[in-house]
């Protein structure tokens, strides 16, 4: 791993680095602690300031983070910095107006307004009309347009929206350091009904298997787009979630898929990575993942 601030390679003075992203955030965040020793003429001298570019490369020289410093805290012994990738422009820019159409159409409009290239967009096929007001960021508008189950990020400089997935990575037990997990039906919706303005029934969807196992949990929604698609999208099954820490692996990232077969951990099957944090500290490289069950 190599960390560059501007043109300076800071590895000799680096105490720790954390690189993370969650589904609820648009930007990947890099936090680093760089040691300083002003009185030591032999210690590496570094110059850094807010706005400086930050690049993190893996051992093969592949770029895994490109952003800029947004905050610096200095102490007598160290400099603590926080940097974000270009996804920060989605959260720091508030937009106004009416955004209507499929998710792809809304994403294209937002990308054009922000001057960001548009990459792959995988929406949920529903048409929406979003009337914005004060305090609504580009990211919050995209989240409404795409639905909760989408990964919104800047990849290779372009705005991308994906369903996640891809080829599942098997989590081998010998690499796992710590696991916590949870199963819940508190948010289950196994019957959804869409009604019109007068309360008339427009469409419904039901998960008969879940209803037979756990009893009925019904949600009623006002019409927003195609009623049949809306009802189907509202169904929610049993949730399975976990937090796993393992020996470091940069191939694991938010939006990816992992496969776990350890019932004694409460984990069995495929899981979406909803957050990741790669950490380098005191010579140890670890990766922590937040997981959410697929088709549970």
pLDDT for 76:
83
Residues of the chain with pLDDT under 50: 42-43
pLDDT of residue 284: 93
CB under 8 Å to 28, separation ≥6 — which residues?
19, 20, 21, 65, 67, 84, 85, 87, 153
pLDDT of amino acid 40: 52
Q: Do the bridges between strand 169-170 and strand 257-262 make them parallel or antiparallel, or are there none, so unpaired?
A: parallel
**Residue % of the chain over a pLDDT of 90:** 59
CB-based contact 124:143 (threshold 8 Å): no
Under a CB-based contact definition with an 8 Å cutoff, are residues 282 and 260 in contact? no
The closest of 238, 127, 235 to 190, measured between CA atoms, is: 235
Give pLDDT, residue 255.
87
Predicted pLDDT at 65:
93
Could you tell me what percent of the chain has a pLDDT over 70?
95
Residue 136's nearest CA partner among 106, 97, 101 is: 97
């Amino acid at each position: 791993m190599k960390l560059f601030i501007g043109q300076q390679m800071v590895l000799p003075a680096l105490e720790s680095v954390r690189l993370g992203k969650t589904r609820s955030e648009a930007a990947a965040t890099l936090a680093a602690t760089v040691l300083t020793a002003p009185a030591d003429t032999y210690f590496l001298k570094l110059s850094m300031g807010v706005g400086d570019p930050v690049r993190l490369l893996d051992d093969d020289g592949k770029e895994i983070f490109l952003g800029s410093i947004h905050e610096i805290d200095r102490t007598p012994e160290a400099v603590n910095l926080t940097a974000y990738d270009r996804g920060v422009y989605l959260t720091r820019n508030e937009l106004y107006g009416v955004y209507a159409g499929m998710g792809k159409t809304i994403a294209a409009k937002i990308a054009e307004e922000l001057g960001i290239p548009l990459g792959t967009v995988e929406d949920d096929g529903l048409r929406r009309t979003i009337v914005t007001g004060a305090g609504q960021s580009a990211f919050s508008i995209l989240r409404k347009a795409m639905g909760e189950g989408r990964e919104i990020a800047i990849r290779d400089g372009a705005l991308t929206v994906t369903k996640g997935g891809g080829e599942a990575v098997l989590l081998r037990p010998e690499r796992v350091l710590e696991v916590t997990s949870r199963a819940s039906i508190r948010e289950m919706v196994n019957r959804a009904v869409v009604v019109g303005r007068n309360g008339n029934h427009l469409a419904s969807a039901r998960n008969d298997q879940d209803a037979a196992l756990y009893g009925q949990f019904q949600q009623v929604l006002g019409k927003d787009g195609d009623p049949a698609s809306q009802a189907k999208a509202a169904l929610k099954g049993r949730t399975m979630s976990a937090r796993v820490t393992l020996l470091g692996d940069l191939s694991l990232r938010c939006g990816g898929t992992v496969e776990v077969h350890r019932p004694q951990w409460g984990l069995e099957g495929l899981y979406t990575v909803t957050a990741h944090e790669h950490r380098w500290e005191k010579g140890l490289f670890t990766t922590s993942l937040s997981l959410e069950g697929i088709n549970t």
